[in-house]
Structure formats: C-alpha cells, structure tokens
Amino acid sequence: MTDWGVLYRHNVAAVSALAGDLTDEQLGTTVPGTPAWRVHDVLAHLAGGASDAVTGRMDGAPTPEWTSRHVSERQQLPVSDLLAELDTHQDAIVETTVDNPRPAIVWDISVHHADLHEALGLGMLPEGLWAPVLAGVAPMKFGTAGVPEDVDRYELFRAIFSRRSRTQMQAWGLPLSPEQLDELCIFGPREDDQPLP
C-alpha cells in the first residue's frame, strides 16, 4: 500500500528544489499541460490548493473558478513565498492522506510536477514521484479489463490525467474506440499534442 504522505513530501521537496533555481524567463514559461498558466501560476496553484485544503476554503473545488481564485491571489508573490506556504501546510496535508484511498491533493502535485518538467524540457519526472499515482488510479479507469501492458507507463499516467491528446493516445494502437480513450481522461479529452520527455 502506498504511503501517500511520504509521496506528497517527496514531491514537495523536489518541486521546491526545482523552483528555487528557476529564472524569471523560466517562471514565465507557458505550461502546455495547463496552457492558461505559466510556471509561476502552477507553483501558485500548488501552494494555494494546499492552503485552501488546510484552511477549509474549498467552496467550488476543484472547478476552474476555485483554482483561479487562489492562483490570482498569489500572482505577485515571489517563488520563495509560494514554497514557504507549500512547506507550511505540508504536515497538515500529510495527515489528511492517512487511510485515504483517493488523496486528490497528492495526485495533483504529482501531475503538476510532471507538467513543470515537460514545460521546462527537463525530461521525465523520476518514476518514484508518479508511478504510485498511476498504480492507484489506473485500476479505477480500466476495471476488470486490466491495465494494458504494451503502453508506456509514464504515457499512461499522463493520459489518464488529460495530459495527452486524442492523437497521441490513438498512436498507442490499443483496441479501444476514440470514445473509450476519451473516457480514460479524468479531465476530459484534449486536442493539443503535449510535449514528450
């Protein structure tokens, strides 16, 4: 069984190490996985989502309006403040993962961490930071059919969280209809091809 709290801490530490060295140009880079956001906005979302979860400001979660609020509230903050906020709420977030089979906030940081890697051309996120999420989510999406063995695991992780286009998923050659592939995507299908590590 995955220790989701440990996975969350590992992602927070890795995001903090990554973000602390980014230039202003990198912070202004558009993130293809969330094209309305720049790298700074993704960091603001990670800090704001954790803060909202701990303080109970969850009205409207997880809608775009909810995320837009906490991102816009942090738009002018330096990265150091965002990382400090993320760290401040870490223990409380970890407590919420105990006996939680679907810790959305852990899945969220893993997905957005991979978004940052792809946006910045840093290659694939280390396996230990995303594979447990895939192992937790994939059975819910594939059910008794089982998770396909002939699809790259990282690509499957990205696709399930709507980070691969219809065209990219169809290239896998699975015996699934376009509609079935669309149903795999938690946030719905997308048309824009995503950068591959």
Who contacts 168 (Cβ-Cβ below 8 Å, separation ≥6)?
A: 155, 159, 193, 194, 196
Give the pTM: 0.96
Residue percentage of the chain with pLDDT more than 90: 83
Q: Where are the domains of the chain?
A: 1-125, 130-197
Mean pLDDT computed over 125-129: 97
Beta bridge partners of 186: none
Tens digit of each residue's pLDDT (9 = 90 or more) over 57-114 = 888 888 889 999 999 999 999 999 999 999 999 999 999 999 998 999 999 999 999 9
Q: What number of other Cβ atoms are within 10 A of residue 197's Cβ?
A: 13
- As a whole number of Å, the end-to-end CA separation of the chain is 28
**Cα within 13 Å of Cα(68), Cβ side:** 5
Tens digit of each residue's pLDDT (9 = 90 or more) over 74-84 = 999 999 999 99
Architecture of the structural domain at 1-125: Up-down Bundle (1.20)
